[in-house]
């Protein structure tokens, strides 16, 4: 679908938006506006990473916006983000995307319909800022999930199975951080489009803020995974300690019971009147000695 969001006749420049275009539609637009063939090929690849290049007087860039409808367990760049290709010159802006892009509608309603954007460079700035802002909600949500996992790790008496959730949390934070870092090349080249330095700095501040958030989530998740594994090992060691203590108590008692359970004919203690109470007393004394020894060592 091809939509004209800004008319050349009224604004002196135009904005053409292509949603899930066919190869023929894209080729027709490429011929009409003189788009380079290699850039057109890149714009068709859904898995392409962020990039920035200038060919003649046309700037081509690929940005990746966070997909708010991604599956909860999605953890790859292709699953978590959608590609938005942008061609920009002094007289036009062309946006290309396969899936419906909420950010395109938001930019149109907020800046085009209100006539706040009057030039292609200004529109380019708003589009890149809108792409970056798609990561704000995920960053906050991942931070909330990290708090949830921290509470479940440290406040529960029993260790719940959190490894799968922590893995997906870490993967999402890592993927978002990687996409943002790859997008830095776009920010570093924005000044070449004649955009004011203050607006470029505002965009970079947003970028740094988002990258810091994802970095904090990533570091927090790494620390929490290490802590979780340590606590799990500690719980396992605690169980093993208890079992070992019980084994230490019953091992000598089993030995005594085993000795007097042998069916030899000549065992003097079997004929003694107090043989049975004496064996029980010996068992009790051994148990008491082991208990006192464990307490002295600090094992109980």
pLDDT at 191 over 70: no
Question: Whole-number mean pLDDT of the chain?
Answer: 82
Tens digits of residue pLDDT in 207-250: 899 989 888 888 888 888 887 777 777 777 777 877 777 787 78
Looking at the chain, the number of H-run helices and the number of E-run strands are: 11, 6
- For residues 248 and 169, what is the distance between their CA atoms, to the nearest angstrom? 43
Determine the pLDDT at residue 149: 81
User: Which residue reads 């949390």 in tokens?
Assistant: 169
Pairwise CA distance, residues 191 & 207, whole Å? 15
Find all residues with CB under 8 Å of 269, minimum gap 6, and list them. 260, 275, 278, 279
- Which structural domains are found in the chain, ordered by start? 2-139+155-232 (3.30.460.20), 236-297 (1.20.58.340)
Indicate the DSSP class of residue 110.
Answer: I
What pLDDT sits at residue 57? 85
In this predicted structure, what is the pLDDT of residue 155?
Answer: 66
Q: Report whether pLDDT(89) > 60.
A: yes
Percent share of the chain, pLDDT over 90: 2
What per-residue confidence (pLDDT) applies to 156? 65
What confidence category does residue 73 fall into, taking pLDDT thresholds of 50, 70 and 90?
confident
Statement: residue 195 has pLDDT above 60: yes
Better pLDDT: 62 or 70:
62
**Per-residue pLDDT averaged across 254-277, rounded?**
74
> For residue 39, what pLDDT is reported?
85
pLDDT one-digit tens code per residue, 130-167: 999 999 998 988 888 888 887 777 766 565 667 778 88
Residue-level pLDDT at 194:
60
pLDDT of residue 13 exceeding 70, the answer is yes
Q: Give 112 or 262, the one with higher predicted confidence.
A: 112
Name 35's Cβ contacts closer than 8 Å, sequence gap at least 6. Answer: 29, 58, 60, 87, 94
Residue 188, pLDDT above cutoff 70: yes
pLDDT of 157: 58
């Amino acid at each position: 679908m091809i939509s004209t969001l800004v008319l050349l006749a009224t604004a002196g420049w135009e904005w053409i938006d292509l949603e899930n275009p066919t190869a023929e539609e894209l080729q027709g637009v490429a011929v009409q506006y003189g788009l380079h063939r290699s850039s057109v090929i890149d714009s068709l690849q859904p898995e392409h990473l962020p990039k920035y290049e200038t060919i003649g007087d046309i700037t081509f860039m690929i940005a990746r916006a966070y997909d708010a409808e991604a599956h909860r367990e999605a953890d790859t760049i292709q699953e978590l983000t959608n590609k938005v290709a942008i061609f920009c010159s002094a007289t036009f802006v062309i946006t290309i995307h396969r899936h419906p892009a909420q950010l395109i509608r938001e930019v149109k309603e907020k800046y085009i319909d209100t006539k706040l954007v009057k030039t292609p460079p200004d529109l380019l700035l708003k589009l890149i800022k809108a792409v970056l802002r798609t990561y704000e909600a995920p960053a906050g949500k991942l931070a909330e999930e990290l708090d949830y996992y921290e509470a479940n790790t440290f406040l529960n008496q029993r260790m719940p199975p959190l490894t799968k959730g922590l893995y997906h949390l870490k993967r999402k934070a890592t993927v978002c951080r990687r996409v943002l870092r790859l997008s830095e090349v776009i920010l570093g080249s924005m000044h070449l489009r004649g955009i004011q330095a203050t607006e470029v700095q505002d965009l970079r501040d947003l970028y740094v803020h988002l990258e810091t958030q994802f970095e904090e989530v990533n570091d927090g998740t790494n620390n929490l995974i290490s802590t979780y594994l340590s606590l799990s090992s500690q719980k396992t060691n605690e169980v093993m300690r208890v079992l070992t203590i019980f084994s230490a108590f019953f091992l000598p008692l089993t030995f005594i019971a085993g000795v007097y359970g042998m069916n030899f004919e000549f065992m003097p203690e079997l004929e003694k009147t107090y043989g049975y109470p004496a064996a029980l007393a010996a068992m009790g004394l051994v148990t008491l000695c082991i208990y006192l020894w464990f307490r002295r060592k600090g094992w109980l």
